Amino acid sequence: MRVLKALIAVVALILVALVVAQVPGGQSLLGIVLPYLAFAIFLGGFIYKVVEWARSPVPFRIPTTCGQENSLPWIKQNKLDCPSTKAGVVGRMALEILLFRSLFRNTRASIHDGPKLAYGSNKWLWLFALLFHYSFLVIVLRHMRLFTDPVASFILPLEFIDGFLEVGATTIYQSSFILLAAVTFLFLRRLVRPYLRYISLPADYFPLLLIFAIGLSGILMRHVFRTDVVTVKELAVGLATFSPSINGEIGVIFFVHIFLVSVLMAYFPFSKLMHLGGIFMSPTRNMANNNRMVHHVNPWNDPKIKPHTYAAYEDEFREFMVDAGLPVEKELPAAAPEEKVPAAEETTDK
């Protein structure tokens, strides 16, 4: 079972963290060395991947046109789904990146007696994907409070909105729970829908389970096994200012949390999570559909590839052409040559 492989991997990672956190020096390894290493891998790997993509040219302008193109002035163009200008492309990309425009189109097909095909609206994936990505973003931004001293100004209003459901002494941030709910949906969806189970690889379950474990360990740290926030903040600011130290007891759960986050960062550039970068560079979405208006250059266009020439064509068929009254460049020679109709394979362009 592919899901089992992913589950075993995540459980093993948690166990590793639990054990290493107990051995001497282990906490420095988990809290300082590995986060630095993982961040370096994340940054380096991400940049490497993007540069690798960017080094391959875009030989052809191949936008997927999802609406009416720019045509006659009185025909209404769909400027967002079929943009012909840079501004339109920015709009299309913004819709795609911020609102998951294409996923919003999703339908679900079914076949019935008749045969009859039906396509129902199906926006659950869009909804939960949005919830997942935005809660993840909010959580990452919220964590910046730990790394900045004084706390960066944008965080307080964010926290206020995120934590308006204040229950008891500890603020409850909805984003944490929305994240867990969304991850759970995305995970169960893969297990329950047969075609998704069929296409899912360990590499699909693993990040979901890993992020679930990260979220859960975070929530546990905040609400169940209380962690010393002051020490954590000291460590985080230390990491951010390149003078990290662990001055006191933090609690094992913290080390599980930060280790899993490190794993996620290091795993990121080598996995499908790179869709974060790829979505900006997908040629079917980030190119204007101005194909016939503006010349597009292919750097490896081969000028040596030429069409079968008209001259060769006329040479082969001149007699027939003259007979049929078609104009020719060269008249027939006085003495008609032997009649011959070469087959395709007998003439080449060499």
Partner 1 sequence: MADTKAAEMKLKVVREPSLMTGAVPTHNWWDVEAIFKPGNYCYPAKKSIAEYHGKNLPGLFGEPRDWEVESDDWKLPENWKEIIINGIKERLDKFRSLRIFMDCCVRCGACADKCHFFLGTGDPKNMPVLRAELFRSVYRNDFTLAGKILGEIAGARPMTFKVLKEWFMYFYQCTECRRCSVFCPYGIDTAEVTMMGRELLHLVGVNTNWILEPAANSNRTGNHLGLQPHTFKENAEFLLDDIEEATGVRLQNLNFNRKGAEVLFVIPSADVFADPGIFTFMGYILLFEHIGLDYTISTYSSEGGNFGLFTNNQLMKKLNGKMYAEAKRLGVKWILGGECGHMWRVVHQYMGTMNGPPDFLETPRSPITGTVFENAASTKMVHISEFTADLIKNNRLKIDKSRNDHRVVTYHDSCNTARGMGLMEEPRYILNSVCNNYYEMPENTIREKTFCCGSGTGLNTGEIMDLRMRAGLPRANAVKYVAERHGVNMLSCVCAIDRATLLTLNTYWNPEVAVCGVSELVGNALIMEGEKKRETDLRAEPLAGMEG
Name the token pair of 143. 């964590």
Q: Which is nearer to partner 1, 32 or 37 (CB)?
A: 37
CB of 329 to partner 1, least distance (A): 8
Radius of gyration (C-alpha) of the chain in whole angstroms? 30
Strand locations in the chain, DSSP E? 107-112, 116-121, 166-167, 170-171
CB of 245 to partner 1, least distance (A): 33
Q: Which is nearer to partner 1, 4 or 161 (CB)?
A: 4
CB of 32 to partner 1, least distance (A): 26
CA–chain centroid gap for 267, Å, is 14
Q: What are phi and psi of 347, to 5 degrees?
A: -115, 135
CB of 202 to partner 1, least distance (A): 5
Angle between helices 202-223 and 2-20 (to 10 degrees): 40
Q: Which is nearer to partner 1, 242 or 310 (CB)?
A: 310
- Tell me how far apart the alpha carbons of residues 239 and 36 are, in angstroms, rounded to a whole number: 8
Q: Which is nearer to partner 1, 185 or 255 (CB)?
A: 185
**CA nearest 170: which of 217, 214, 229?**
229
Residue 31 CB coordination number (10 Å): 25
Q: Which is nearer to partner 1, 324 or 335 (CB)?
A: 324
CB of 101 to partner 1, least distance (A): 8
Residue 148 CB coordination number (10 Å): 15
Q: Which is nearer to partner 1, 245 or 284 (CB)?
A: 284
Q: Which is nearer to partner 1, 6 or 239 (CB)?
A: 6
Q: Find residue 107's DSSP bridge partners.
A: 121
In a 13 Å sphere around the CA of 239, the CA atoms on its Cβ side amount to 23
CB burial string 197-225: b at 16+ within 10 A, e below: eeebebebbbbbbbbbbbbbbbbbbbeee
Evaluate the CA torsion angle 8, 9, 12, 17 in order and state its sign: negative
CB of 214 to partner 1, least distance (A): 18
Q: Which is nearer to partner 1, 15 or 99 (CB)?
A: 99
**Under 8 Å between Cβ of 163 and 171:** yes
